[in-house]
Amino acid sequence: MPGVGISRIVRTVCAALAVLAALGTSAHATSRIKDLANIEGVRQNQLIGYGLVVGLNGTGDTLNNIPFTKQSLQAMLERMGVNIRGATIRTGNVAAVMVTGNLPAFATQGTRMDITVSAMGDAKSLQGGTLLVTPLLGADGNVYAVGQGSLTIGGFAAEGAAASVTKGVPTNGRIANGAIVEREIEFALNKMPNVRLALRNADFTTAKRIAAAVNDFLGTKTAEPIDPSTVQLSIPAEFKGNVVALLTEIEQLQVEPDIAAKIVIDERSGIIVMGRDVRVATVAVAQGNLTVTISESPQVSQPNPLSRGRTVVTPRTAVGVSEDGKKLALVKNGVSLQELVDGLNGLGIGPRDLIGILQAIKAAGAIEADIEVM
């Protein structure tokens, strides 16, 4: 980017600051405590199981190549009273799958939950398949749900003699309400003397504001921030044995979260995400565009007719190097990063150049924010 372009950025930024000063500053948005923190113990639990999908139209596992599918099929048939030990099985309608799901908080026996089914072997598609009874285990090894049902997949695969087409992932499917909860996870929320709120984004200021909002609402010092990510609530006497009523009132309180100044950069995709409080200190910036041009113009030399010579190609290469943008421009103190980036975008600066400029300004100590590179 030329030096003149930097000057245009500075003028654009100054004009934007003048407009903001004339309009005044707007109030920051507030959020519910319900959207800022989780309640201790109110959480899902991950379940996993191994099972078989049957009813596939020849798109299942190749039993000769996938031994665990063959062993599982033999064991299942033996439990059904069918002995096929030593027999040759040539079916392509069975596939070994992993079944996963999330057990909802406070799920009771008999309630249903969604499950996801994923092929493990070389099955081409699970379309039209049915999952057989599959126990779903928790991290402690206990069975908490049992899954079974017909699969719904979001893709398909079709092939002919010389061509094939695949859309989506046909080896992954879902069964809505496909598992029944068989074991409950005991958690006596109403009997707890204290409840902790876990902030989704740890911050000292936000934790203090949440505690202050709760204390103002209840009229007593009930909430106390323990650390940047935890606020502890002591259950008042009037809510003893009825913690749900207390949480229902508290989670609707409005709090203004405090967000740390941070810039997140994904160099692989060129994505830049920045916080609202990022500021740029006084710094001089210049960017040089280095352009290298290489052109090939080979020359062909042919012999005279009826001669014994041969055709010769002589390579000719021209290399040119040009560099623009040798002037420095001053970015004044207090200019927000958003305004600086808007000016760079207005000049057609791409994300890759923006990443380099931001990292260079950070290296100079002129950005008042943390830069996180993914």
Burial (CB < 10 A; 0-12, 13-18, 19+), residue 60, is buried
Which amino acid makes up residue 110? G
pLDDT value for 364: 77
Sign of the CA dihedral with 343 first, then 345, 348, and 352 last: positive
Residues in the chain where the model's pLDDT stays below 50: 1-27, 326
- Predicted structure pTM score: 0.68
Half-sphere exposure of 57 (CA within 13 A, CB side): 6
How many other C-beta atoms are found inside a 10 Å radius of the C-beta of residue 210? 24
SS (H, E, C) 152-173: EECCEEEECCCCEEEECCCCEE
- What are the domain boundaries of the chain? 3-26+262-292+323-373, 31-40+188-255, 45-62+95-181
The helix (H) or strand (E) run that includes residue 49 is strand 45-54
Give the pairing type, strands 262-266 and 370-373. Answer: parallel
Residue 274 backbone zone (phi > 0: left; psi -120 to 50: alpha; other: beta): beta
pLDDT value for 367: 79
Rounded Cα distance between 127 and 55, Å, is 9
Rounded Cα distance between 81 and 76, Å, is 9
β-sheet bridge partners, residue 225: 231
Give the pairing type, strands 289-296 and 254-255. Answer: unpaired
Rounded Cα distance between 158 and 184, Å, is 43
Q: Is 177:146 a contact under the CB 8 Å cutoff?
A: no
**DSSP letter (8 states) at residue 239:** G
Give the pairing type, strands 172-181 and 370-373. Answer: unpaired
Total number of residues shown for the chain:
374
β-sheet bridge partners, residue 312: 301
The token duo for 368 is 């008042």
Task: For 167, list phi and psi in degrees, rounded to 5.
Answer: -125, 130
49, 245, 291 from 40: Cα distances, Å: 27, 16, 57
Q: What is the CATH number of domain 31-40+188-255?
A: 3.90.76.10
Each residue's pLDDT tens digit, 30-57: 899 999 999 988 889 999 999 999 999 8
**DSSP letter (8 states) at residue 307:** -
Rounded Cα distance between 287 and 361, Å, is 12
Which amino acid makes up residue 118? S
pLDDT value for 13: 41
Q: Is 202:228 a contact under the CB 8 Å cutoff?
A: yes
Q: Is 99:117 a contact under the CB 8 Å cutoff?
A: yes
Rounded Cα distance between 289 and 347, Å, is 13
**CA nearest neighbour of 57 among 2, 111, 124:** 124
